[in-house]
Amino acid sequence: MRTIIVTADDFGLSVAVNEAVERAHREGILTAASLMVAGDAAADAVARARANPGLKVGLHLVAVEGPAMLPHAMLPTITDANGQFPADQLGLALRYAFSKRARAELMLEITAQFNAFRRTGLPLNHADAHKHMHLHPVVGEAMLRIGHRFGLRQIRIPAEPPSVMTSLGEPIKLSDRALYLWTRLLRARARKAGMICNDHLFGLAWTGHMTTDRLLRLVPNLPDGTSELYFHPATSRDAALTRLMPDYEHTAELETLLNPKLQAAIKALA
């Protein structure tokens, strides 16, 4: 059996992203979205989600390169003066691993983000993390433990099978294989916590470039189990997207989500 989850990340980052999420759900194949609760357009995203009750919404936990819920005064070790997590993923990873103060601040922030999601009144369908930061053992463990208190029952495992990508002619680096093996730690912890997890994830190798031709090649070759396909759609380029993801094909990804040939290919798997 093959089951597909189609998710949009960065819901709430900007109105252009929110517009794409709504349209892709109404007219295309999008089934879920991950909400950045501290995003500039979070309130707009919540309003659109309420207007589309069939859209499953989860928490897109931000612990790197993005806005925090709590002020910098409460998170002086892990955010800058503007209340933003830095883009230095390795630097933050080391702080989370070796600084007791950084870990304490992280726990406060994760709790605040789950609290903010609860205040939206939306059902919490799942959780994942910006830049897949929950692969960090400290972040992942905290997300599972704190999320459980807020009713979390499902998380994303960013495990993209190298064998499938190789079969599609994509070059696979040693780091890709190492990352795939590393996801086993998160999966084991999630299962121990009683969480539902996807078996496979696609969108890592092609992040920001999930175009129609690629998806039409991928979908017939999806392995058995539950595969999550994740996208970064937007209706247009805006300042936030240009600054944070200058090379992403946001509008092309929206076109992919709306493509009738892809819809037909997915239906053919049923």
Give the pLDDT confidence score for residue 6 in this predicted structure: 98
Query: Would you tell me how many other CB atoms lie within 10 Å of the CB of residue 232?
Result: 23
Q: What CA–CA distance (Å, rounded) separates 204 from 201?
A: 8
| Contact of 35 with 12, CB cutoff 8 Å | yes
Work out whether the CA dihedral 264, 34, 117, 49 comes out positive or negative.
negative
Q: What's the rounded Cα separation, in Å, for the pair 66 and 192? A: 29
Residue in the structure block whose two tokens are 């070059």: 171
Q: Is 11 helix (H, G, I), strand (E, B) or coil?
A: strand
- Residue-wise pLDDT for 247-265, tens only, equals 999 999 999 999 999 999 9
Nearest to residue 256, comparing CAs of 222, 220, 209? 209
pLDDT at 103 over 80: yes
Q: Does the CA dihedral 108-113-117-123 come out positive or negative?
A: negative
Confidence at residue 1, expressed as pLDDT on a 0 to 100 scale: 86
Helix-strand-coil split of the chain, %, nearest 5: 50, 15, 35
Q: What is the DSSP string of 245-265?
A: -TT--HHHHHHHHH-HHHHHH
Q: Tokens 């883009």 identify what position?
A: 87
Q: By percentage, how much of the chain surpasses pLDDT 70?
A: 100
pTM: 0.96
**pLDDT of the residue at 250:** 98
Give the type of residue at 238. D
The pLDDT assigned to 163 comes to 96
Confidence of residue 95 (pLDDT cuts 50, 70, 90): very high
Residues 128-143 pLDDT 10s: 999 999 999 999 999 9
A 10 A CB-CB count for 268 gives 9
Taken in order 118, 203, 12, 30, the sign of the CA dihedral is: negative
Q: In whole angstroms, what is the distance from residue 161 CA to residue 184 CA?
A: 12
Residue range 2-269 in CATH 3.20.20.370:
yes
Burial of residue 162 (CB within 10 Å: 0-12, 13-18, 19+) is: middle
The mean predicted confidence, pLDDT, of the chain is 97
Q: Which two tokens stand for residue 41?
A: 């357009």
Whether 7 has a pLDDT exceeding 80, the answer reads: yes
- Residues 35, 11 contacting (CB under 8 angstroms): yes
* Structure tokens that stand for 223 in this block: 């392995």
Residue range 38-87, pLDDT digits in tens: 999 999 999 999 999 999 999 999 999 999 999 999 999 999 999 999 99
In this prediction, residue 239 has a pLDDT band, given cuts at 50, 70 and 90, of: very high
pLDDT recorded at residue 60: 98
Q: Which residues does 132 contact at the CB level (< 8 Å), separation at least 6?
A: 158
Backbone angles phi, psi at 33, to 5 degrees: -145, 150
Residue 269: pLDDT band with limits 50, 70, 90: confident
Residue type, position 94, single letter? L
pLDDT greater than 80 at residue 270: no
